[in-house]
């Protein structure tokens, strides 16, 4: 699908917005037995625990978000403690609450339904306390897991058309969206939530970076396939969003030409945890508007 197909965009917008009619004609009950996992797990990779004794920056929250960000450090290169601070105060668990269905883990940045569908990956060169590589951040145990060894920042820069903020960044944080984790509750509206939920997380990243005296910049343009398949080879990523320390851009491949996959997507109706087929605006609109089969 062409990114400039405004008709498809309006179809999706009108087909997924709430109204008196839509809420009462689309009853939805949560299947707690089929609830998605709140964290992405790499069971065979040893965790690298992030430091917990990170010192306070001494910068007030309102100052961090209101004043222009300027580097107050000579090197402007983060170390392991800086990364720990940014990751924790953007996607870390700040509290948890028990309920009849289990535990709800609340994160530093708010998210629709407390489902937290955004995962964070770090692509870095050699830093103080951290060797170059591609890492996944796990909020459950506040740790990094090394997925790929070596400095792959050049590959990432190629995917972003040699954007200076990526090419010269000592570390880049990539935000990715896990569709099923949010669609379990919100169905086709999940595509909307990617922007909202990622935006709150990015706001925290920018604020913490400013408070830490580190420059940060969001990069919106890049080639998805280059990021996921060729640059850093993150498996299972559906909606990558690259940036310097943060990210917010998503593009989705359209499965219209693959009839078998399209039918599987329609039949799943978000009711199976196995339905991990990337949607497009037309597919999600049809899914929302088509009547249920008896």
Q: What is the DSSP string of 45-95?
A: S--EEPPS-PPP----HHHHHHSPP---SSS----HHHHHHHHHHHH-EEE
pLDDT of residue 279: 38
pLDDT computed for residue 69 by the predictor:
57
pTM confidence score = 0.77
- Report domain extents, the chain: 36-258
CATH topology of domain 36-258: NADH Oxidase (3.40.109)
Predicted local confidence at residue 24, as pLDDT: 79
CB 278 within 8 A of CB 1: no
Q: Are strands 239-241 and 102-107 parallel, antiparallel or unpaired?
A: unpaired
> Which H/E stretch holds residue 239?
strand 239-241
Q: In whole angstroms, what is the distance from residue 137 CA to residue 91 CA? A: 9
Average pLDDT per 10 consecutive residues for the chain, totaling 294 residues = 80 85 80 88 94 89 76 72 94 90 88 92 92 94 94 86 86 89 90 89 91 87 72 53 39 35 33 34 36 39
From residue 31, give the alpha-carbon distance in Å to each of 97, 106, 126, 270, 273: 20, 21, 45, 11, 11
Structure confidence at residue 265 (pLDDT): 33
- Residues whose CB falls within 8 Å of the CB of residue 261, separated by 6 or more in sequence, listed in order: 255, 277
pLDDT of residue 224: 75
């Amino acid at each position: 699908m062409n990114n400039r197909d405004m008709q498809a965009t309006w179809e999706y917008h009108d087909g997924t917005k709430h109204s008196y009619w839509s809420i009462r004609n689309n009853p939805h009950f949560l299947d707690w037995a089929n609830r998605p996992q709140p964290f992405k797990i790499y069971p065979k990779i040893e965790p690298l625990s992030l430091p917990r004794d990170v010192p306070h920056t001494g910068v007030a929250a309102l100052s961090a978000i209101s004043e222009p960000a300027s580097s107050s450090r000579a090197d402007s290169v983060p170390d392991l403690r800086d990364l720990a601070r940014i990751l924790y105060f953007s996607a870390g668990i700040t509290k948890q609450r028990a309920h009849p269905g289990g535990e709800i883990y609340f994160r530093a940045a708010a998210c629709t339904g407390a489902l937290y569908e955004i995962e964070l990956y770090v692509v870095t060169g050699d830093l103080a306390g951290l060797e170059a590589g591609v890492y996944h951040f796990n909020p459950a145990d506040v740790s990094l897991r090394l997925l790929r060894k070596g400095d792959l920042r050049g590959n990432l820069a190629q995917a972003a058309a040699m954007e200076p903020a990526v090419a010269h960044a000592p570390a880049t944080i990539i935000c990715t969206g896990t569709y099923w984790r949010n669609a379990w509750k919100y169905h086709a509206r999940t595509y909307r939530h990617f922007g909202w939920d990622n935006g709150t997380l990015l706001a925290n990243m920018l604020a913490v970076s400013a408070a830490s005296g580190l420059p940060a910049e969001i990069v919106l343009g890049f080639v998805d396939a280059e990021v996921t398949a060729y640059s850093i080879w993150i498996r299972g990523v559906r909606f990558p969003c690259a940036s310097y320390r943060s990210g917010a851009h998503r593009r989705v491949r359209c499965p219209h030409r693959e009839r078998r996959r399209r039918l599987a997507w329609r039949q799943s109706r978000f009711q199976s945890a196995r339905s991990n087929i990337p949607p497009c605006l037309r597919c999600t609109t049809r899914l929302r508007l088509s009547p249920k089969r008896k």
